[in-house]
């Protein structure tokens, strides 16, 4: 199972390291390996959230996530997204942005690709930070039977009874960070508002196409409806109702937007290590993004999220921490090691708590009587 799921990840990791060595020698190989480790460490929480959504999709749409989705993650977010940001920021056409990207230059040198992308960090952080903050709040504001950090989650669930609590808190956060954004204030407000609107649009379209499965389905979706994005409904012998048609398409879009938002910190953090777009694409894309897909599939096939009930909570606390870190980096520098480790710490803590809970439940369960034949 492990070898089958992660086989291609290890093969492509080898390919990426060989290409990095051929491109820039030993130094490029080392940088590529560091970026791969950075992306994987940042992506445990991403894999958990992805898995929870992916398990509600039909096999066809799961394959779409692993094929079209990986192209979006590697080519779109790790290559085209930085080029687009630099092009817009510096008023360059795509060809000029690519030429600038291939020129050597560090993050401190004005006019270089790395410098321009770093200058756009406030907008990127505001957009990604507010989107992820709303994802975190929607999960925490929902009333649920199981709590991990109950002393925090129960009060948050109570606050969630306030109508539009997620939007209220997100707008308050935007006003707060915008007030201290200095020269970038207008850009931060616009980007943050865009992040909020993107989240509302994607989740709103999910409701429109009955992604939560609580209303009438579209004519194209009569064979199945989706479980709720953030909660999920159990049905049938296989537990979760599988989404198809427009409902699955909306889940796919939702999944891709979340996946893209998770990649912001990795893309920006990579430029603290190297400004070479080729090495970044190999390390973050060919190694990191592929491993995220493999981890996601492994979690789905193993049923890990159902066996370890606090993993969802840990992943969303990691999302909340990442969103706060992104918003704080608009004004202050936070070491990439902290960003990379905080999600891993939450996931490990949630997994450990889940294992302890499972042992406690098993010990409390009445013994099954044995009957002799």
In a domain, 253, yes or no: yes
pLDDT value at residue 22: 93
Residues 6+ apart with CB under 8 A from 112: 100, 103, 105, 106, 275
pLDDT value at residue 34: 84
* 343-361 pLDDT tens trace: 778 888 999 999 999 999 8
In a domain, 85, yes or no: yes
pTM over 0.85: no
pLDDT value at residue 315: 86
- 255: confidence class by pLDDT, cuts 50, 70, 90: confident
Rounded Cα distance, 238 and 57, in Å: 12
Give the least confident one: 55-59, 112-116, 125-129, 237-241.
Answer: 237-241
Q: Other CB atoms closer than 10 Å to residue 369's CB: what's the count?
A: 5
Spatial CA neighbour of 130 closest among 278, 328, 302, 312: 328
Q: Is 126 left (phi over 0), alpha (psi -120 to 50) or beta?
A: alpha
pLDDT value at residue 219: 34
Say what percent of the chain tops pLDDT 90. Answer: 18
- 337: confidence class by pLDDT, cuts 50, 70, 90: low
Rounded Cα distance, 283 and 290, in Å: 10
In a domain, 254, yes or no: yes
- 21: confidence class by pLDDT, cuts 50, 70, 90: very high
pLDDT value at residue 175: 94
pLDDT value at residue 201: 85
Give the least confident one: 13-17, 321-325, 353-357, 361-365.
Answer: 361-365
Torsion, CA 86, CA 328, CA 261, CA 110, rounded to 10: 10
212 DSSP assignment: T
* 53-101 pLDDT tens trace: 888 888 888 888 878 888 887 788 777 877 787 787 777 777 888 788 7
- 39: confidence class by pLDDT, cuts 50, 70, 90: confident
Please answer whether residues 188 and 350 qualify as being in contact, where contact means their C-beta atoms are separated by less than 8 angstroms: no
Distances from the Cα of 161 to the Cα of 54, 145, 156, 165, 311, angstroms: 28, 15, 9, 8, 24
Rounded Cα distance, 48 and 42, in Å: 12
* 197-251 pLDDT tens trace: 988 887 777 666 555 544 443 433 333 333 344 444 443 334 455 666 777 787 8
Please answer whether residues 51 and 300 qualify as being in contact, where contact means their C-beta atoms are separated by less than 8 angstroms: yes
In a domain, 107, yes or no: yes
In a domain, 368, yes or no: no
Spatial CA neighbour of 266 closest among 249, 283, 286, 251: 283
Please answer whether residues 274 and 27 qualify as being in contact, where contact means their C-beta atoms are separated by less than 8 angstroms: no
In a domain, 369, yes or no: no
Q: Domain range spanning residue 112? A: 2-361
In a domain, 371, yes or no: no
The total domain count for the chain is 1
Q: Is the dihedral of CA 86, 87, 88, 89 positive or negative?
A: positive
* 279-304 pLDDT tens trace: 888 888 888 888 888 888 888 888 88
pLDDT value at residue 207: 67
Residue 174 pLDDT greater than 90, yes or no: yes
pLDDT value at residue 101: 77
In a domain, 207, yes or no: yes
Please answer whether residues 285 and 71 qualify as being in contact, where contact means their C-beta atoms are separated by less than 8 angstroms: no
Q: Report the mean per-residue pLDDT for the chain.
A: 79
Residues 6+ apart with CB under 8 A from 146: 309, 310, 313
Give me the mean pLDDT over the 302-318 stretch.
Answer: 86
């Amino acid at each position: 199972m492990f070898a089958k799921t992660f086989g291609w990840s290890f093969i492509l990791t080898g390919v990426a390291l060989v290409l990095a060595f051929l491109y820039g020698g030993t130094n490029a190989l080392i940088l590529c390996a560091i970026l791969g480790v950075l992306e994987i460490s940042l992506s445990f929480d991403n894999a958990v959230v992805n898995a929870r959504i992916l398990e509600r999709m039909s096999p066809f749409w799961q394959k779409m996530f692993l094929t079209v989705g990986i192209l979006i993650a590697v080519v779109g977010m790790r290559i085209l997204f930085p080029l687009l940001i630099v092009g817009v920021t510096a008023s360059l056409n795509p060809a000029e942005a690519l030429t600038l990207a291939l020129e050597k230059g560090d993050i401190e040198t004005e006019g270089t690709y790395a410098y321009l992308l770093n200058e756009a960090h406030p907008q990127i952080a505001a957009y990604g930070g507010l989107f992820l903050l709303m994802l975190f709040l929607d999960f925490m504001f929902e009333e649920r039977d199981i709590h991990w950090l109950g002393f925090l989650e129960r009060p948050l669930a109570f606050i969630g009874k306030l109508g539009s609590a997620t939007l209220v808190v997100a707008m308050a956060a935007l006003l707060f960070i915008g007030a201290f954004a200095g020269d970038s204030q207008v850009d931060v407000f616009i980007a943050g508002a865009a992040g909020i609107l993107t989240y509302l649009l994607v989740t709103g379209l999910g409701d429109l196409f009955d992604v939560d499965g609580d209303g009438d389905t579209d004519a194209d979706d009569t064979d199945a409806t989706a479980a709720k994005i953030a909660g999920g409904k159990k049905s049938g012998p296989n537990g979760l109702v599988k989404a198809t048609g427009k409902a699955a398409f909306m889940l796919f879009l939702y999944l891709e937007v979340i996946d893209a938002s998770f990649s912001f910190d990795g893309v920006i953090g990579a430029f603290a290590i190297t400004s070479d777009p080729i090495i970044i694409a190999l390390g973050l894309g060919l190694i990191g993004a592929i491993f995220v897909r493999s981890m996601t599939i492994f979690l789905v096939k193993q049923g890990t999220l159902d066996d370890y009930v606090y993993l969802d909570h840990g992943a969303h606390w990691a999302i909340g921490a990442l969103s706060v870190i992104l918003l704080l980096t608009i004004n202050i520098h936070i070491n990439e090691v902290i960003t990379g480790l905080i999600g891993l710490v939450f996931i490990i803590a949630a997994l450990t708590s889940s294992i302890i809970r499972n042992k406690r439940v098993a010990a409390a369960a009445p013994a099954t009587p044995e009957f002799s034949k």
